[in-house]
Amino acid sequence: MSKKTLVIGGGIAGITAAQKIAQNGGEVILIEKEAELGGNFAKLAFTFPVLGDAKALVAKEIDAVKSAAGVEILTYTTLQSCQGSAGDFTVELKSASGTRSENVAAIIVAAGFHYMEPTAYTEYSYGRSKNVVTSLEFEKMAAENRLPQGKARVVFVHCVGSRDKAKGYRYCSKICCSYSAKHAIMMKKANPQSLNYVFYIDIRALGKGYEEFIRSAMEEYNVRYIRGRVAKVIENEGKLIVRAEDSLIGNPVEVEADLVVLASAMEPPEGSRELAQVLGIATDEYGFFQETEANVRPVNSSKPGIFLAGSCTQPMEIAASVAMGGLAASEALTLIK
Ligand SMILES: Cc1cc2nc3c(=O)[nH]c(=O)nc-3n(C[C@H](O)[C@H](O)[C@H](O)COP(=O)(O)OP(=O)(O)OC[C@H]3O[C@@H](n4cnc5c(N)ncnc54)[C@H](O)[C@@H]3O)c2cc1C
Ligand code: SF4
């Protein structure tokens, strides 16, 4: 019987799980549907809460997993079918060169998240104005040194598609308060002349150093935080006008902006329900993979032998994804040994 583990998804959660299993003498097949490993981490410029160099951090982890003995990496590859039970799964892997059958003892699902395109939010002019971008697009602009120059005004909008059952999701995406503060700080560091505004409903920053990080955006980088939901972003002669109500003082506010950045929702990975069906495991009402007992077994799926890691279970930051990857690896090793 095989002692291999199949890891689905080559983001930081899957990379960590694969590394941990290999470090403990196990064998791994790591499949990634895209051309490269790294997932969404590889699309970032910097990381909160310490402004780490995202590209360097993720490159180090990718190099480590690529050179780990016992890890076979298959890119452009997905799972086509899965039969069997814990300790003895037969999986069919599909790539451009055809299909290949493998026997594995355990499976770790680390398929990550998808970043919501806020096209339903026509009131924010996303898709109509090139100066209204998502937070993920802002990361790319920062990495390519394309942030606005001179006395630019930049507005960051929280909770786009999250905490909004009318057009988005009821849940909170958990980390956008922190990464929006990161973006405002990045903006101020890249362009000290810039004026930066954040529109928020309330601040949610649960993690070591996150609260202090957001406070530093306000106090050290003079980011102006305005409590209120943005109602409209309109473009007028090349300038954007952001209209909202300041819910602390109850007055309407209007801010002129050169760039508006929408903190869009983190949603389940594309095809999560189909993947869950192939594996025979449960998803939640949104399509995130469901833990059996979230409190005490956060990496156990509804099927023995299949474990979950990272943001395919709920929105989460890098550190939590790494922690889940490590725990999923230890569960797989326990099963194999
Ligand atoms: C704008 C923005 C800024 C952020 N900034 C920070 C920050 O500063 N600090 C921080 O801690 N976190 C930050 N994050 C969160 C961070 O990106 C995530 O925590 C991290 O990417 C989660 O890693 P993951 O491995 O769970 O998922 P992902 O990074 O999504 O990786 C999943 C991988 O699985 C692959 N995959 C999906 N489905 C399949 C399939 N069926 N078969 C094979 N492969 C598949 C995907 O192609 C992808 O490579 C930010 C997120 C966003 C959107
Ligand atoms: S983390 Fe902050 S910005 Fe993101 S959905 Fe939750 S409250 Fe809104």
Q: Where are the domains of the chain?
A: 4-113+268-336, 115-266
Whether pLDDT at 104 is above 80: yes
Query: Which pLDDT score, from 0 to 100, does residue 106 have?
Result: 98
Ligand 2 within 6 A of CB of 262: no
Query: Which pLDDT score, from 0 to 100, does residue 37 have?
Result: 98
Kindly give the distance from the C-alpha atom of residue 229 to the centroid of ligand 2, in angstroms, as a whole number.
12
Q: Which residue has the tokens 């890249």?
A: 190
Kindly give the distance from the C-alpha atom of residue 268 to the centroid of ligand 2, in angstroms, as a whole number.
16
Query: Which pLDDT score, from 0 to 100, does residue 309 have?
Result: 98
Whether pLDDT at 1 is above 80: no
Query: What is the sign, positive or negative, of the torsion defined by CA atoms of 23, 68, 50, 140?
Result: negative
Name every protein residue with a CB atom under 6 angstroms from any ligand 1 atom. Answer: 8-14, 31-34, 39-41, 44, 47-48, 78, 110-113, 115, 135-136, 139, 175, 179, 182, 269, 271, 275, 310-311, 316-319, 321
Distance CA 71, CA 65 (A): 7
Name the helix (H) or strand (E) containing 333. helix 318-336
Distance CA 224, CA 222 (A): 6
pLDDT band at 57 (very low <50, low <70, confident <90, very high): very high
Mean pLDDT value of segment 238-261: 92
Instruction: Round to the nearest angstrom and report the end-to-end CA distance of the chain.
Output: 12
pLDDT in tens, 134-178: 999 999 999 999 999 999 999 999 999 999 999 999 999 999 999
**According to the CATH classification, is domain 4-113+268-336 in 1.20.1250.20?**
no
Q: Strand 266-267 vs strand 98-104: parallel, antiparallel, or unpaired?
A: unpaired
> Are the C-beta atoms of residues 85 and 36 closer than 8 Å to each other?
no
Query: Which pLDDT score, from 0 to 100, does residue 122 have?
Result: 94
Distance CA 305, CA 324 (A): 16
Ligand nearest to the CA of 207: 1
pLDDT band at 115 (very low <50, low <70, confident <90, very high): very high
- For residues 323, 66, 10 and 14, what is the CA-based torsion angle, rounded to 10 degrees? -30
Which residue's alpha carbon is at the smallest distance from atom 1 of ligand 2?
A: 174
Which residue's alpha carbon is at the smallest distance from atom 6 of ligand 2?
A: 172
Distance CA 20, CA 306 (A): 17
User: What residues contact residue 323 under an 8 Å CB cut-off, 6+ apart?
Assistant: none
Do 4-113+268-336 and 115-266 share a fold? Answer: yes
Kindly give the distance from the C-alpha atom of residue 170 to the centroid of ligand 2, in angstroms, as a whole number.
11
CATH number of 115-266: 3.50.50.60
Distance CA 47, CA 318 (A): 9
Ligand 2 within 6 A of CB of 265: no
What percentage of the chain has pLDDT greater than the value 70?
Answer: 100
- Choosing from 113, 135, 156, 158 the residue with most ligand 2 atoms within 8 A of its CB, the one to mutate for a pocket test is 158
Mean pLDDT value of segment 279-294: 96
Q: Going edge to edge, which strands form the sheet with 239-246?
A: 230-236, 239-246, 251-257
Ligand nearest to the CA of 311: 1
Q: Which long-range contacts (CB under 8 A, 24 or more apart) does 203-207 make?
A: 203/177, 204/172, 204/174, 204/177, 205/177, 205/178, 205/181, 206/174, 207/49, 207/178, 207/317, 207/319
Angle at 111 between CA 106 and CA 117, to 5 degrees: 170
> Are the C-beta atoms of residues 313 and 3 closer than 8 Å to each other?
no
User: Strand, helix or coil at 48?
Assistant: coil
Angle at 29 between CA 26 and CA 31, to 5 degrees: 145
Distance CA 123, CA 114 (A): 22
pLDDT band at 236 (very low <50, low <70, confident <90, very high): confident
Q: Which residue has the tokens 């009318």?
A: 166
Kindly give the distance from the C-alpha atom of residue 145 to the centroid of ligand 2, in angstroms, as a whole number.
26
Kindly give the distance from the C-alpha atom of residue 201 to the centroid of ligand 2, in angstroms, as a whole number.
8
Ligand 2 within 6 A of CB of 134: no
pLDDT band at 260 (very low <50, low <70, confident <90, very high): very high
